[in-house]
Amino acid sequence: MNGQAWLLLFEGAWTTLWISATAIAIGVVLGLAIALVRMAKVPFVDQLLVLYISLARATPLVTFVLFLFLSAPTFGINMNRNTAAIVAMTLNTAAFNAEIWRAAFLSFSREQKEAALACGMTSGVFFRRIMLPQMITTSLPGLVNEMSFLIKGSPAIAVIGIVDLTRVTNRIAAVTYDPLPPILAAALLYMLIISALLKLQAMAEKKANRLAM
Amino acid sequence: MTEWSILWDAREVFSNGLIATVQLFVLSTLCAFVLGCALVYQLEHGNRLSRALRLLINLMRTLPFLILAYLLYYGLPPLGLRLSAWSAGLLALIVYHAAYFAEILRGSRLVMPEGYVEAAKAHGFTPLRLYLRIILPTLVIKTRPLLGNQLIIALKDTAFLTIITVQELTAAANSVQSTYFIPTQAFVVVIVLYWLISICLELALKRAARFGAKRGFDYV
């Protein structure tokens, strides 16, 4: 493997990273929004969201990416590959994140809410100043775990022709006729990315445990 | 309505894909579970081999599944070992999920009360008997929610194999849509099938929870 092959690999890694990062960023916020709407228990919307979460958690990312990319044009929506990949990954990860946020909601102590209301906070201020910071700390380990799952699932976007870190090994092998080194190199890069996330998760866990004390 | 009748005519493609997916899933998770249990037994000893296995398990946890499948399908032939797409996919599923099963069981083994094991030792259990009769059943019943989660992840990982040309459920939908140009309906059918399988898994898991509760293992 020469320098150019490494350059291609890094390009692939960059594609994987920016698409995943965009999906994660939107997915975390969207997950919180879904959890909030679910906590409000609007009759019809609630069942719809339960159905969405159940479906999104059961559908493989590969199938979902293919579905979105191929069927969006039949509804008159024109998406390029990157947008389709980001939308599919976002919808997938948001369903998991919504459950993590909801668990944080449900385990939040009632005494704190009563205390805050007794101090004269409105429920908006209470949510922003008291509830949200604690919820972020308690659900961060779960969210980071879900991030590493999403990165592990990200090779799914190769199926619609995006040259990500997995797909790029085929490209390199097509030139060098030697598929083993690029695959091992890609594996190494994945290992670096995901072990960084695992480390982050361990740190988040430590912080969350300190809060629980 | 015509699209659905086309799909009905192509039902054989879907049923073949479904059978392939279920076959891959059942075969791989069974083998992976047995292999995972064997790995945890080996880890009990704490010698050099088990340290190497720990490293291997941690390695698997940082790799995407598809990279492993690529490694077995594209990476091995130059070394003189040519596997068919199906067997490479199956092998990748087994190795990958065995590592995850082992990690789940190991995590629970670490927090298992040691007095329990010592009591069994005092009754004269040999190490293998001790593991099979005392430790393993406890670990499995305790970790069943995590194991069930891993099963659903394994089911979803079978879809990755469509990229290395295994003819499973997602590949079936893809071939139907490229023949008849009806992507929406073809994929809706497949997504619903995946959904049904995972609902069955979840129901089975609830059953297992009731069994666990009957045996005195915490929550339902």
What residues of chain A lie within 8 A of the CB of B67, using their CB?
155, 166, 183, 186-187, 190
CATH code of B2-214, in short, is 1.10.3720.10
Q: Residue A199's domain spans which residues?
A: 3-212
Asked if B195's CB is within 8 angstroms of A166's CB, the reply is no
Percent of chain B with pLDDT over 70: 98
What residues of chain B lie within 8 A of the CB of A53, using their CB?
none
Inform me whether the C-beta atom of residue B170 falls under 8 Å from chain A C-beta atoms: yes
Inform me whether the C-beta atom of residue A63 falls under 8 Å from chain B C-beta atoms: yes
Asked if A54's CB is within 8 angstroms of B195's CB, the reply is yes
**Cα–Cα dist A101/A181, whole Å:** 41
Note the pLDDT of residue B182. 85
Report DSSP letters for B161-208, one per residue.
GGTTT--SHHHHHHHHHHHH--HHHHHHHHHHHHHHHHHHHHHHHHHH
How many angstroms separate the CA of residue A43 from the nearest CA in chain B?
Answer: 23
Domain boundaries, chain B: 2-214
- Tens digit of pLDDT for each residue in A95-148? 999 999 999 888 888 888 889 989 999 888 998 888 888 888 889 999 999 999
pLDDT greater at residue A101 or residue B11: A101
Q: Of A157, A152, A35, A44, nearest to A99 (Cα)?
A: A35
- Tens digit of pLDDT for each residue in B170-196? 999 888 888 888 888 889 999 999 999
Selected residues 141-170 of chain A with any CB under 8 Å from a CB in chain B = 151-156, 158-159, 166, 169-170
What residues of chain B lie within 8 A of the CB of A152, using their CB?
63-65
What residues of chain B lie within 8 A of the CB of A183, using their CB?
67, 70-71, 74-75
Q: Which residues contact B188 (CB under 8 A, 6 or more apart)?
A: A67
Inform me whether the C-beta atom of residue B65 falls under 8 Å from chain A C-beta atoms: yes
Asked if B170's CB is within 8 angstroms of A179's CB, the reply is no
Task: Over range B12-30, report the average pLDDT.
Answer: 93
ipTM of the complex: 0.87
Asked if A180's CB is within 8 angstroms of B174's CB, the reply is no
Q: Of A153, A131, A150, nearest to A142 (Cα)?
A: A150
- Tens digit of pLDDT for each residue in B94-134? 999 999 999 999 999 988 888 888 998 999 999 899 999 88
Inform me whether the C-beta atom of residue A198 falls under 8 Å from chain B C-beta atoms: yes
SS3 label, residue B123: coil
Instruction: Report the chain A residue with the minimal C-alpha distance to residue B164.
Output: A159
Asked if B71's CB is within 8 angstroms of A155's CB, the reply is no
Note the pLDDT of residue A20. 94
Please give the average pLDDT of every successive group of 10 residues along chain A, which has 213 residues: 86 93 95 92 91 92 92 85 93 95 88 90 89 89 92 92 89 87 92 92 87 63
Instruction: Report the chain B residue with the minimal C-alpha distance to residue A190.
Output: B63
Phi and psi at B84, nearest 5°, equal: -75, 160
What residues of chain A lie within 8 A of the CB of B154, using their CB?
none
Domain count, chain A: 1
What is chain B's mean pLDDT, rounded?
Answer: 89
CATH number where A96 lies: 1.10.3720.10
What residues of chain A lie within 8 A of the CB of B195, using their CB?
54-55, 58-59
Inform me whether the C-beta atom of residue A70 falls under 8 Å from chain B C-beta atoms: yes
Is residue B78 within 8 Å of residue A180, measured between CB atoms? yes
Asked if B70's CB is within 8 angstroms of A63's CB, the reply is no
**Cα–Cα dist B93/A183, whole Å:** 17
Note the pLDDT of residue B220. 41
What B198-206 contacts at long range (C-beta under 8 Å, 24+ apart), as own/partner pairs, is B198/A57, B198/A58, B198/B152, B198/B155, B199/A54, B199/A58, B201/B148, B201/B151, B201/B152, B201/B155, B202/B148, B202/B152, B204/B148, B205/B144, B205/B145, B205/B148
Q: In the numeric block, which tokens belong to residue A105? A: 């909601």
Note the pLDDT of residue A157. 92
How many angstroms separate the CA of residue B75 from the nearest CA in chain A?
Answer: 4
